[in-house]
Structure 1
Amino acid sequence: MANSRISRRTTVPVASRERAEKRPKKRLPQVRNISLGGVAIIVGAVLLVLVAIAVPLRNYYEGRTEIARLTESIAAKEAEKERLLADIARYQDEDFIRQEARRRLGVVDEGEVAWRILDPRMSANGAVTTPHDATGADVAWYEVLWDSVAEPPLEPLNPTPPPVEEPLEEPATPAE
């Protein structure tokens, strides 16, 4: 009995084969030839869709680029803010203020002696800055550098000191 069940399931009746052969086969619809005008309309529609998509897509990427640039700018400003807050905190320290006053302004504490060493080669009325109308203001830096190396100095580096004049002795006044 088990053998007959298996045979029924695996065999196909002959009548069903014959019906399958008699049924007409479904044919695929034939593709009509598309004219040149139809192709042009399809290409035009595709281009129109691409243009319609391209403008918003370009705006999207420009916006993303702007967001990235502004994010970097914000990070740089926050870093500068942190640096400035650190400077403010440092200037609230008395020791730092005392050190900066000593370094920048030459402030001396009580009981200290300040010494100023002057270079004998410096002229008495030498200006610290160059006036605006001075020649050479529009000379390139490399020309100034080359001129300072190429030309010998106008005055010797170790000039001989002028002879020291001794004061004349005053004649003694007669004692009364």
Structure 2
Amino acid sequence: MKPASVSAPAPTPGRTPRSMRRMVGIGALLLFLAVLLTPTVRGYLSQRSQINQAQAQVDAQEQDIAAKQSQLKQWNDPKYVEQQAESRLGFVKPGQTLTVTVDKNGQARQSAGTDVVAAKPTQPWYDQLWSSVQGAATRK
């Protein structure tokens, strides 16, 4: 007969205490890294958001500057200045008369004609005013 041999105990199903210690150690390390990196990542994302907002503001200001430069170029053109003085302020050149028409909605529209107007009044302003008042009184 053969002598009885001593055999190793059969492996038990499940984890051994050594592998459980490794898993706990790895889990603790991952938790430590998460706690360590979370504020850093949050700060990075916050700063990226601020940078994007600042860049959008810079882009809007650059567009505003371009629009204002374009408008400045228009105001350097004497014909544009004349047109604006006529339409906004009602100015006309000597020798022209200004005609203001009002449409049904009450909107005034100005147009400059080429009727000849005396360059110098023949009467002082107060005489012109008085004659205008007298003329208005007699037109009733």
Equivalent pairs, count = 94
Q: Percent identity?
A: 21
Q: Report the Cα distance in structure 2 between the residues aligned to 1:117 and 1:71, rounded to whole angstroms.
A: 49
1:43 and 2:23 aligned:
no
- Pairing of 1:42-61 with structure 2 (within 5 A): 42-61=26-45
| Structure 1 SS opposite 2:97 | coil
TM-score relative to the length of structure 2: 0.54
One-letter amino acid matched to 1:96: Y
Shift in alpha-carbon separation, 1:115–1:73, aligned structure 2, 3 A:
same
TM-score relative to the length of structure 1: 0.44
Which blocks of at least 5 consecutive residues in structure 1 are unaligned? Answer: 1-30, 123-165, 168-176
| Structure 2 SS opposite 1:108 | coil
Task: Identify the structure with the greater helix proportion.
Answer: 2
Bigger Rg, which one: 1
One-letter amino acid matched to 1:49: L
The Cα of 1:100 is off from its aligned counterpart by 0.3
- Pairing of 1:65-76 with structure 2 (within 5 A): 65-76=49-60
One-letter amino acid matched to 1:70: A
2:99 — aligned with what? 115
The Cα of 1:36 is off from its aligned counterpart by 7.1
Q: Report the Cα distance in structure 1 between the residues aligned to 2:51 and 2:85, rounded to whole angstroms.
A: 45
CA RMSD of aligned residues (A): 3.2
| Structure 1 SS opposite 2:70 | helix
| Structure 2 SS opposite 1:116 | strand
| Structure 2 SS opposite 1:109 | coil
Q: Report the Cα distance in structure 1 between the residues aligned to 2:102 and 2:46, rounded to whole angstroms.
A: 62
Task: Identify the structure with the greater strand proportion.
Answer: 2
2:134 — aligned with what? none
Which blocks of at least 5 consecutive residues in structure 2 are unaligned? Answer: 1-14, 107-138
Pick 1 or 2: higher relative contact order, CA cutoff 8 A, min separation 6: 2
